[in-house]
Amino acid sequence: MVEVESAPGRSVLRGIGRYLREDRECRAAHIRPDTKGRGWVTEVKSMQPGTIVARIGDHALVEALRAAELPVVDIGGELPRLGFPVVGLDNPAIGRIMAEHLIERGFRRLAFVGMRGPKWAEDRRSGFIAAASARGLDVAEQDSPYDPLPLQLDAPVRIRLQKWLRDLPKPVGIAACNDHTGRSMLGQCRELDLAVPEDVAVLG
């Protein structure tokens, strides 16, 4: 149960596909559960899988997975203390690599746009700031709510982000906590007629 709308989700599926090519005794099925209903649970149980690999992002899915009574591996780790084994990302390292990439590209003014609360986002922020600080660079910070589509932010949030972008010294390299946030930043740059990447480089 992995989303195909994002590059990381598709990458996970490619990795599973590589494993399947190496182990011909193993089979996989990709399903998109409707977390509002439980019909898919019966379907999955009838397959008798050895395990369910899922990115678990909401409690409705947690309850449905528990109802399936099958082994589950969580590939997100977004919800803490579920009791499922977790295969996660090294988020502080992601933040560090983002900073190093922008610095290697010649940026000496850096910024980070993230979400407050989710541990993965905070870990990426702290890794980014630590790497910049090790190079003697400060980081301008800004918070943004989850925005699945660019330019869908509430007007007060959009105005605040645009003022922040407008006031940042240029050129600036901005690290966004995820691709959705990065895409939103690109939308704000477009509205402000800021040149990307000449004035503002955005890294998701």
Instruction: Dig out the tokens for 39 from the structure.
Output: 């019909």
Q: Render the burial of 22-44: b for 16+ CB within 10 Å, e for the rest.
A: eeeeeeeeeeebebeeeebbeeb
Top mean pLDDT of 18-32, 134-148, 188-202 is at 188-202
In this predicted structure, what is the pLDDT of residue 37? 66
E strand map for the chain? 52-54, 72-74, 110-114, 139-143, 172-176, 200-203
Query: Is the distance from CB of 123 to CB of 92 less than 8 angstroms?
Result: yes
**Site of tokens 């982000």:** 161
Average pLDDT estimate for 30-46: 76
Unique residue bearing structure tokens 């009791």: 83
In the predicted structure, residue 43 carries a pLDDT above the cut 60:
yes
Query: What percentage of the chain exceeds 70 in pLDDT?
Result: 95
- CA nearest 176: which of 133, 134, 120? 120
Q: Mean of the pLDDT values across residues 106-110?
A: 97
- Residues facing 200 on adjacent strands: 172
User: Smallest Cα–Cα separation from 124: which of 92, 90, 155, 88?
Assistant: 92
pTM of this structure: 0.79
User: Does pLDDT of 106 surpass 80?
Assistant: yes
Q: Which of the four pLDDT bands, split at 50, 70 and 90, describes residue 147?
A: low
Answer yes or no: is pLDDT of 36 > 60: no
What is the distance between the alpha carbons of residues 112 and 70, in angstroms, rounded to a whole number?
40
